[in-house]
Structure 1
């Protein structure tokens, strides 16, 4: 009911009250009783209407707060989901970039290892065999020179194979050490990412707690205001009923 309708009801009640008073002054008590009863019915109806209107309005206010909170909560989750998604995307990019760089670094490291390989340093025994071989050849003792060459070739092949195995083992160890250092670098990055992820979760939780606290504050404040409004309305009704009772007692005493 809008202000115009309330004003019309108030005017009608005023008219009905004047009619009751006129009937009372003129001794038309039956009509005065009818008017009185009608007044009480209308007043009771108006009180109930106002109570229901206040109740409906307060429910609408509470629903409005709930709806606003749900919208804010949805917006909160949407914003934070995007933040977390962006963080995870950036973290994945960092990890992939490091892996690509590590692969490139490993290839370069292996290339440099191969370049560093020098000719093997032969044993004194092999060098002596080669010297003897040369002397025999110069002395035109080719048969013995050939025998010495076969012996020196066998020893040289053995020493080269030994050297290669040793160098290969050294390369494996250096490569393993290099890979380990890169793995540690990757683990450190992943730990930093995890730490950042946990910080993101903590900030999200703190923001959520603040949002929920604001909602509870608004809800509590609205409940307090509505309780105060109901108390004031109840006091007004009690005051009106008390005044009506006093008026009735006064009239009976005078009568």
Structure 2
């Protein structure tokens, strides 16, 4: 049984990868079709013509598969870029929050140490400024003058009696003075403790405000990132739809974009992107965040 050269060419065409080779094969078959047409061999011409249609259909199907595969790759590239940038976004913010928490802890430790030193210094100052032995009261000074007068007059028994009164009065004054002195010290320390409590409360409020500010900044960056990729996806969907319509020979509304324009538009989606992953995650960049107003004030509540 003789082999069909036309069918063999079709089989060969199915294994050909390049479009140029298929187009060349179709061109050869069209020439054969014309030759058979001129020679009146219409059945053979019809057979060749059917092969040409089959080749064109196969070529069109192959182009469609290539188009779909490329569009899937482009969509996958956007999703991959989004996931990578989102991962970097989360990692950078995790580092920023860690630095923020450490900065808050350091500032709180410094404030606690400052308040402890202040309390100790104030207590020592009070202890030194308030004498343990009270000053002589007017009553005690009066008894002292009486005693001196009695001694000068050689009235020793009366002087001894006054002396005993002075001793009893001094003991009584010491007991009273000790209670008053301790109460005065405790009152002063309590006032200082209240002021320090307010100082610590103000400091912690600044920490909460700083944390809230960082939360808003992170949310704003994420929303910006999400919106950027949503726009990229929408633009890519529109571009792919235009490509598919033009491939199917459908009318495209609008500007009548050519295939070259569509391809350039598709590539521009990737070339014009400026993801966070293209920015180096430097320590200096992280420290710049620590210079915000909420963090500057932590060390000076």
| Same structural fold, with TM-score higher than 0.5 when normalized by the shorter chain | yes
Q: Deviation of residue 144 (structure 1)? A: 5.0
Answering whether residue 213 of structure 2 is matched by residue 199 of structure 1, we say yes
Q: Deviation of residue 134 (structure 1)? A: 4.4
Q: How does 1:48-197 map to 2 (within 5 A)?
A: 48-118=61-131, 119-136=133-150, 145-197=159-211
Q: Deviation of residue 187 (structure 1)? A: 1.8
In 2, Cα distance between equivalents of 1:16 and 1:87: 75
Q: Deviation of residue 153 (structure 1)? A: 1.8
Can you give the 5+ residue segments of structure 2 that lack an aligned partner in the other structure? Answer: 1-13, 252-301
Q: Identify, as 1 or 2, the structure richer in helix.
A: 1
Q: 2:37 aligns with which of 11, 16, 24?
A: 24
CA RMSD of aligned residues (A): 2.4
Answering whether residue 58 of structure 2 is matched by residue 38 of structure 1, we say no
In 2, Cα distance between equivalents of 1:4 and 1:42: 13
Q: 1:196 to 1:212 in 2, by over 3 A?
A: same
For these two proteins, the number of residue pairs brought into alignment is 236
Residues 46-70 of structure 1 show CA distances to partners (whole Å, capped at 9, x for unaligned) of 1111111111110000000000111
Q: How does 1:220-239 map to 2 (within 5 A)?
A: 220-235=234-249
Can you give the 5+ residue segments of structure 1 that lack an aligned partner in the other structure? Answer: 238-255
Q: Which has the higher contact order (CA 8 A, sep 6+)?
A: 2
Question: For residue 287 of structure 2, what is the aligned residue in structure 1?
Answer: none
Q: Secondary structure at 1:235's aligned position in 2?
A: coil
Question: For residue 8 of structure 2, what is the aligned residue in structure 1?
Answer: none
Q: 1:11 aligns with which of 21, 24, 28?
A: 24
Q: Secondary structure at 2:249's aligned position in 1?
A: helix
Q: Which has the larger Rg?
A: 1
Residues 6-27 of structure 1 show CA distances to partners (whole Å, capped at 9, x for unaligned) of 1001100111122222222222
Q: Deviation of residue 141 (structure 1)? A: 5.5
Question: For residue 215 of structure 1, what is the aligned residue in structure 2?
Answer: 229
In 1, Cα distance between equivalents of 2:211 and 2:68: 47
Shifted more, 170-179 versus 132-141: the winner is 132-141
Question: For residue 252 of structure 1, what is the aligned residue in structure 2?
Answer: none
In 2, Cα distance between equivalents of 1:5 and 1:99: 77
Q: Secondary structure at 2:135's aligned position in 1?
A: coil
Q: Secondary structure at 2:136's aligned position in 1?
A: coil
In 2, Cα distance between equivalents of 1:143 and 1:9: 144
> Residues 123 and 189 of structure 2 are in contact (CA less than 8 Å); yes or no, is this contact kept in structure 1?
yes
Q: Secondary structure at 2:85's aligned position in 1?
A: helix
